[in-house]
Amino acid sequence: MRLEGKIALVTGGGRGIGRAVAFAFAREGASVAVVARTAGEVERVAAGVRGECGVRAMHATCDVSDVESVARAFAVVAETFGRGADILVNNAGIAESAPVTRTDDAHWRRHLAVNLDGTFYCTRAALPAMIERGWGRIINVASIAGKTGAPYIAAYAASKHGVLGLTRSVALEVALKGVTVNAICPGYVDTDMTTHAVEQIEAKTGRTAADALDRIKSMSPQNRLVTPEEVAALALLLASEDGRGITGQAINVDGGSVLF
């Protein structure tokens, strides 16, 4: 049991990668707090984790782009478990595409607000308790779009590049406090987010869904989607004692599509 006695807070834990992380951590003995905006989804994941793994699990609704909503969720987690989280997984995120000249202010702000501000708000809320205890893990689910650009995702890529800057700076700031801060950079993962990307390609280019999916898969040298469980497995390593020497890193889980 690699996370026995630890409390993990997973944002965007209601589905996709966050859900897989919640289960992976719970199977290793962690108490888990699952937060996102959709109450039914976070409730189902918390109940599933309790049922399958027999650990303590709670859910809370939270919009990570709203600083007050973040403060409320962190307060409920500390109240429920008796202290703040040892492990924070900043996984909540959104991804939409548009040519940059048709990226309106709302699209731009939405991506910065959820993907970057949200990661900052949760990090700032979680760190004091970690520093006080002299142990903590912050794991930011960024993207290979945090390392390289691509057409039609200027807002998303800008927000994820920002997450890497935040990751590296905070990692250095708390390096002597027993807290590690890292980013995971997945390629396309088999989740609703990728399903929506396929739908968008279908709608905008007239390709079939199967063709759009094949094109997405072919962006990876492994010619496949990453699974949420593969991302969760890396999160588990970073969260565990074995990962204590890894900090300030941005690690790709992308089948080799980005080699830096």
> Does residue 183 touch ligand NDP according to CB under 6 A?
no
> Does residue 92 touch ligand NDP according to CB under 6 A?
yes
> Does residue 95 touch ligand NDP according to CB under 6 A?
yes
CB of 36 to ligand NDP, least distance (A): 3
User: Which residue among 2, 48, 63, 108 contacts ligand NDP (CB under 6 A)?
Assistant: 63
| Sheet with 179-186, edge to edge strand ranges | 57-61, 31-36, 7-11, 87-90, 136-141, 179-186, 250-253
How far is CA 69 from each of CA 19, 73, 155, 257, rounded to the nearest angstrom? 20, 6, 23, 36
Binding segment for ligand NDP (CB under 6 A), chosen from 24-32, 73-81, 96-104, 188-196, is 188-196
Residue 51 is which amino acid?
G
Helices 118-133 + 67-81 axis angle, to 10: 30
Looking at the Cβ atoms of 131 and 237, the one nearer to ligand NDP is 237
> Does residue 147 touch ligand NDP according to CB under 6 A?
no
Q: Closest Cα partner for 163 from 177, 179, 184?
A: 184
Between 33 and 52, how does the x/- string for binding to ligand NDP read (CB under 6 A)? ---xxx--x-----------
Looking at the Cβ atoms of 55 and 95, the one nearer to ligand NDP is 95
User: Which residue among 3, 9, 11, 170 contacts ligand NDP (CB under 6 A)?
Assistant: 11
Question: Which residue, chain included where needed, has tokens 């939270």?
Answer: 62
Contact 157, 109 (CB under 8 A): no
Contact 239, 8 (CB under 8 A): yes
> Does residue 65 touch ligand NDP according to CB under 6 A?
yes
Dihedral, CA of residue 122, residue 124, residue 126 and residue 129, to nearest 10: -170
- For residue 225, what is the DSSP state? P
CB of 65 to ligand NDP, least distance (A): 5
Looking at the Cβ atoms of 54 and 149, the one nearer to ligand NDP is 149
Residue 125 is which amino acid?
A
Q: Which of 121, 152, 156, 188 is catalytic?
A: 156
Between CA 53 and CA 23 the distance in angstroms is 8
Looking at the Cβ atoms of 40 and 54, the one nearer to ligand NDP is 40
Looking at the Cβ atoms of 3 and 113, the one nearer to ligand NDP is 113
* Catalytic (active site) residue 156: yes
User: Which residue among 64, 130, 183, 239 contacts ligand NDP (CB under 6 A)?
Assistant: 64
Residue 81 is which amino acid?
F
How far is CA 193 from each of CA 23, 108, 157, 196, 259, rounded to the nearest angstrom? 19, 18, 15, 5, 23
Looking at the Cβ atoms of 170 and 226, the one nearer to ligand NDP is 226
User: Which residue among 3, 10, 17, 153 contacts ligand NDP (CB under 6 A)?
Assistant: 17
- Any idea which residues carry the catalytic annotation? 156
Residue numbers of the site for ligand NDP (CB under 6 A)? 11-12, 14-18, 36-38, 41, 62-65, 91-95, 114, 141, 143, 186, 188-189, 191-194
